[in-house]
Chains A and B, each alone.
Chain A
């Protein structure tokens, strides 16, 4: 049995058992409908455009939130990592703020922002901010001072050292931050979209719950999972490209 086949065995068996028990009536259809029903719902909602529209709305929030939170985190992390004064001004405060569970801010954010788009985007941005900030900062801080020094003796200016030494040196850590930010961002989105809303995957699921369309709820979950998987895959591909030099390390 090849590796691929072996890896696929467990999920296929689980699906088969799920389908079988649901068909046999062991699982109540309103608690957990069979996979075939979920597939059917996927087909139906794709045809009438509901799934696509919801997906697009959710993706928009995710991307916007990641962009905003990620950019601020990157800038602050770089300032704190590169400049002594920036470190003193930024880092202690951010480290303290990190202790606040950002999802616990939902009630306060509702008071400030209402329950509209800005709430959801803000939650994603907050979720993405901390992992990216922390890993940018740590990535810059952990750079071997000896390499920076060697670059200096080669005549590189400050900005050249940042570009040729600090940035690439912090890249592995940055990717780690990005991956964590993606998952934190998704999680924030799921929570945010369930607070109320007029569109998006979360809305689709909440609405389906009211009408006891359990298969749509399950479908929403699966789509969330799939999106997470895809974003992780994209990130890994980018990482392989950009961090090709590490393959040498691994082989050694």
Chain B
């Protein structure tokens, strides 16, 4: 039990948040271990972004106990790059160490944009912008990455590329991550554990025991997928649609 506590990175208990009279989070308990990738799923409006913002320290009005490492970084669904700073300056934003320039170059190289440091964000494609946002997070060498549907705005092919990039980066850096996603396949492919948020609570936690490298045709994938979709109350195939 002691080793378990030592490797615990995120610990949240009884997190509550309401807007006006509407209770969105009603006692969420959640833990993430060092180096663990946890996917957070839930219907639209179930409070995934709300929870992530609380963990990111962006919401001062939540109650409950939350312990997160100071070494953390956030990637949002929109890239949120400052349009008036060149790509390199965006990545280096808030990095105060003397080697900021070389770290910026390294972070951009890691996401395959070594030569775009001088570009303006407006000159990038959606996929490139999102990769810059990832570089901006990576340069901080976070112990914890918080990702709110980071690939949700990308087309299917770009999304596959980004998922591969994420897997590669994780192998190199060993960060822990909380990944909010709508994409059930993505959640199973990338995470070690799946959490399902419903009615303001985590109603299910599922360990993903599939071997790496994973693919949608890995054994066990389909069963897990079906189980998740049932929890999310989504039909697994169009034919399953309730009559």
Which residues of A approach B to under 8 Å, CB–CB? 144, 146-147, 149-156, 160, 164-165, 168-169, 171, 243, 245-249, 251-252
Contact = CB atoms under 8 A, between A and B. Distances in A.
A154 B136 contact: yes
A152 to B, nearest CB: 7
B73 A153 contact: yes
Nearest to B77: A146
Interface stretch (B15-23, B116-124, B232-240): B116-124
Interface stretch (B78-86, B107-115, B165-173, B178-186): B78-86
Nearest 3 Cβ contacts at the A-B interface: A248-B120, A248-B122, A154-B94
18 contacts: A144-B80, A146-B76, A146-B80, A147-B80, A149-B58, A150-B76, A151-B94, A153-B57, A153-B73, A154-B136, A156-B93, A165-B82, A169-B84, A245-B84, A245-B85, A245-B120, A248-B83, A252-B122
B78 A146 contact: yes
B68 to A, nearest CB: 12
A155 to B, nearest CB: 4
Chain B: interface size category: 20 to 34
B94 A156 contact: yes
Interface in B213-230: none
Interface of B: 56-58, 72-74, 76, 78, 80-86, 93-94, 119-123, 136, 140
Given A146-B76, A151-B93, A247-B120, 15 more contacts: A146-B80, A147-B82, A150-B76, A152-B58, A153-B58, A153-B72, A153-B73, A153-B74, A154-B73, A154-B94, A156-B93, A168-B84, A243-B84, A245-B120, A248-B122
A251 B140 CA distance: 32
Which among B58, B73, B94, B119 has the greatest number of chain A C-beta atoms within 10 A?
B94
Contacts of B81: 150
B107 to A, nearest CB: 13
A247 B86 CA distance: 12
Contacts of B82: 147, 150-151, 164-165, 168
A251 B123 contact: yes
Contacts of B140: 154-155
